[in-house]
Amino acid sequence: MNFVFLQKGKRYWKHLLPAQITAMCQIDYRPKGFQAVAVALANNEIHLYKDKFLVDVIQVEENIYAMKFGKLGREDATLVMITKNGGLLVKILKRTATFEESDTLHGPPKEQQVKIDVPKRTKLYVDQTLREKEQAENMYRIFQQDLIRLKLLTGKEFLKSVQAGLNPIAKTKNEAIRINAEVHGLGPRFKLTVKLQNTTSTSLTPIIDLFISFTYDENIYSLNPNYIEIPILITGIKYGFCTFVTCITDKVISDIIKVYVCRRDSSAPLISAVINMPVAEPNLSI
């Protein structure tokens, strides 16, 4: 972790590093007006930071325990490093090197430095602010009433869907069933596949005594069969039950078919699904 503090002792920003710091030095290259900080890490890397942005990464073979940037011989920009085992590494900055914003690996975009024209406060804004201050209690009370009313309506609709078996996942005290349906074909004859799965997690007891029935407009569709018995549903296994739907009307229309999974000893459906049938292609005779 690398921290930067102001002169008054307040932390300005922090930067999370990938490894522990082993050495640091300042890089001040005045001919190009470039200033940065070199940070040697325990993972054999040297990170160069300009302000808090990473501009370059140097890979080395050993951990660096000391380094210094400055003039060495005829070279004005040299980084001298001492490794853990006493080795000496020298990196020389090219005199033709350029330092542009496009060279920055991570940094803010140029648009971030553009100031946004904040609009002035209008009379409408001031009036609305005063209204909110004066009627804050009343506005909060109305908001809470609307929120409670919304929760109540949501609960009522959910209860209706559960009682009518419109929920795609039926859950009782000890049983849970999932249903989905698929329609295959272009028409006028379709294949309707109803898939059921016993998703009960609390018990491995299979579900028995179920059947599937359908409701549809008999002027548009004909189903064969329109009643399917379900002998058993074992936990975790998907079962597919098929029926064939025939469009018996000459009109280019479609309708819905409702699928109900019921228990023999109950008058209400356990679970149901609504299928939007596609428009049947005309039966062409060749």
Domain count, the chain: 2
- Do residues 177 and 97 share a domain? no
- Do residues 174 and 90 share a domain? no
- Report whether pLDDT(103) > 50: no
Smallest CA-to-CA distance from 25 within 74, 64, 52 is with 64
Mean pLDDT of 25-31: 85
Listing DSSP states for 73-97 in one string gives TTEEEEEEEEETTS-EEEEE--TT-
Q: What is the chain's mean pLDDT, rounded?
A: 82
In the listed set 107, 125, 155, which residue is the last one of a domain according to the structure?
A: 107
Residue 230 lies in a domain: yes
DSSP class of 273 = E
Residue range 40-79, pLDDT digits in tens: 998 888 888 887 778 888 888 888 899 999 888 888 888 8
Residue 154 lies in a domain: no
CATH code of the domain containing 205: 2.60.40.1510
Which domain, by its residues, includes 15? 2-107
pLDDT value for 245: 92
Phi, then psi, of 125 in degrees rounded to 5 = -65, -45
The answer to whether 33 touches 100, Cβ cutoff 8 Å, is: no
* Structure confidence at residue 102 as a pLDDT band (50, 70, 90): very low
- Report whether pLDDT(101) > 60: no
Residue 112 lies in a domain: no
The answer to whether 57 touches 45, Cβ cutoff 8 Å, is: yes
The answer to whether 210 touches 270, Cβ cutoff 8 Å, is: yes
Proportion of the chain above pLDDT 90, given as a percent: 14
Distance CA 255, CA 277 (A): 6
Residue 213 lies in a domain: yes
Phi, then psi, of 164 in degrees rounded to 5 = -90, -5
Select the more confidently predicted residue: 245 or 280.
245
CA angle, corner 238, sides to 236 and 242, nearest 5? 160
Sign of torsion over alpha carbons 280, 284, 285, 286: negative
The CA-atom distances, in angstroms, between 64 and each of 4, 17, 283 are 22, 16, 82
Smallest CA-to-CA distance from 46 within 79, 14, 72 is with 79
- Do residues 259 and 173 share a domain? yes
Residue range 161-217, pLDDT digits in tens: 666 555 555 555 567 888 888 999 887 889 999 999 888 877 778 888 889 999 999
Residue 178 lies in a domain: yes
